[in-house]
Structure 1
Amino acid sequence: MTRLLALLLLLGGCAGSGPAEPPRLLVFSKTEGWVHDSIPAAVEAVRQLGEAGGFAVDATQDAAAFSDDRLAEYDAVVFLLTTGDVLDTEQEAAFERFVRAGGGYAGVHSASDTEYEWPFYGDLVGAYFESHPPGTPDAVVDVVAAHPSTEPLPQRWTWTDEWYAFRAQPENVRVLMTVDESTYEGGTMGEHPIAWCHEALGGRAWYTALGHRAEGYADEAFRAHLLGGLRYAAGLADGDCGS
């Protein structure tokens, strides 16, 4: 159910109008930097996960969707492989109001390579991308906290991806997964978080650094990880992510 519909129901404006609508997610994949060739596969995967996971999906690369009226139609916004400065000042303000009023956020992979000059977004995504070693080597991911996005995964999970290092350790978040830097070459963080969540800014926020390769979006384990994060952001699944 969207936040707008919930308000109408509270006011009695939809009494007797039938079943409630499912939560609706806005999937945003605008790029002003690196363009991942996995974007089409990622968008299609989220559409399919929505059909299976109980939420509706609208996908766009148009930043005009970031207005108060348009965002009121959604329960969560997914920054899916975004890069660079993708919103103007008014759009940023509308999105900040959306989150502070309880709207959800999910960020995938290069969502952390986005909006470096906007402090609110930095706090929302949790950490900014700094670098990654060449290629997409195999590495071992450790699940360190229970969450809808980690429950389907083994405690130690071998995965192939682009292993992001961040400018700083994320703060005010609950780390859900780390990558074992001894299992690949080029790690620079030591203790290396790779997925986390928080509720520090009013709404639910979830981020995973995984998702570089198009092939990954067809993988059952990764799709389960992504689905859990999206359902959490949309308010369909609970997770212990702090207050």
Structure 2
Amino acid sequence: MLRRSFFTLLAVLATVTAQAADAPKKLLVVTVTTGFRHSSIETAEKVLAEIGKSSGAFTVDFVQQPPGQPKNPGRAPEKKLKETDEAFKTRQENYSQALAGYNAANAVWTEQVKAYMADKMALDKIKDYDGFIFANTTGDLQFPDREGFVELIKGGKAFIAMHSGGDTYHPFRGYVDMLGGEFLTHKAQVEVQPILHNPAHPATKPIPAGWRVFDEIYIFKNYDPATVHALMGLNAHPNEGTPGYYPVSWCKDFGKGKVFYTSLGHREDVWDPTWKADTKDRKNTPEIARTYQEHILGGIKWALGLVECEAELGNVKAVAE
């Protein structure tokens, strides 16, 4: 009887273990912005939930910032051609008042974000997630323990970021080193045809040869090709055409964790094949958006360890100019 009970227990444990292995991974999607806020964030949230559900690979929870982010008045005015000194002085004064109001309101709002993030991103509350997605985040996210978060990824979690996830935590070197690069600038949105450096990788395998996409293409700094596995890139500046290497997407092991980043994803029609269908606002076909979804799904699954692929570092030797 004891022997039979022992083997029954083993069978139950094996079943439970198999079910746990097959269960969807848990991802926490962060869409907080303390800098520029992309209009595509809401679309990104929808798409990530949809592809998680349709693939069965993962579920998502969200950390979204408190409402009420004040609007930055932008750059100081410059004198217009034929503008009178009096008119220009008036515009300068109006701008100064608007800037002072913004600074005061932003200080209050930043404290609200800080308190919100202290609750939502406390390490004891997020430690059971399998990974994290920064979907078009910007600025200082006010994490209660940003160093602890990086160590959490290094300890075996997945980290995935899209587009302005590369325009996040600039003063924090730990984040930049984890990601593998840092946003420097961009010019006008443009159509590009990225080079596929590893067509066998899950993030690039769905992308057909000659694939073109219209988006805001980032130029990076603090990017060292020896420290990442390049997935997509350009051999010339996306707008100017001057020679040089310009990365678009990459991945890397990070301690026991894995990092996947794609700089694509500024536009709604890159994310969503249904966004403003059959209107002049679309610059990308639905098929391009479906390919992008497969691109990020492949990267997410790789980062979560659901699919395997060699990702040796330094597979592209050129250095971005």
State the partner residue of 2:239.
Answer: 185
Q: Which runs of 5+ in 1 are unaligned?
A: 1-11
Q: Which runs of 5+ in 2 are unaligned?
A: 1-9, 66-116, 273-288, 314-321
**Length, aligned pairs only:** 228
Instruction: State how far apart, in whole Å, the 2-side matches of 1:216 and 1:144 are.
Output: 21
Tell me, yes or no, if structure 1 residue 147 matches structure 2 residue 217: no
| Residue number among 222, 231, 252 corresponding to 1:176 in the alignment | 231
* Preserved contact between residue 165 and residue 189 of structure 1 (Cα < 8 Å): no
State the partner residue of 1:74.
Answer: 129
Deviation at 1:119, TM superposition (A): 1.3
Instruction: State how far apart, in whole Å, the 2-side matches of 1:65 and 1:189 are.
Output: 44
State the partner residue of 1:3.
Answer: none
Report the TM-score when normalising by structure 2: 0.66
Query: Higher helix fraction: Structure 1 or Structure 2?
Result: 2
Deviation at 1:236, TM superposition (A): 1.3
Deviation at 1:94, TM superposition (A): 2.8
Rg larger in structure: 2
State the partner residue of 2:106.
Answer: none
Pair 1:122–1:188, CA change in 2 (3 A): farther
Q: Deviations over 1:40-84 (max 9, x none)?
A: 000110001101222111111253332222222211100110000
Matched position secondary structure for 1:150: coil
State the partner residue of 1:99.
Answer: 153
Instruction: State how far apart, in whole Å, the 2-side matches of 1:235 and 1:151 are.
Output: 16
Identity among equivalent positions (%) equals 30
Instruction: State how far apart, in whole Å, the 1-side matches of 2:310 and 2:248 are.
Output: 17
State the partner residue of 2:164.
Answer: 110
| Residue number among 235, 238, 241 corresponding to 2:308 in the alignment | 238
Superposed, 1:1-243 pairs within 5 Å as 15=13, 19-20=19-20, 21-53=23-55, 54-61=57-64, 63=117, 64-88=119-143, 90-134=144-188, 136-145=189-198, 146-171=200-225, 172-181=227-236, 184-186=238-240, 190-218=244-272, 219-242=289-312
Instruction: State how far apart, in whole Å, the 1-side matches of 2:221 and 2:172 are.
Output: 15
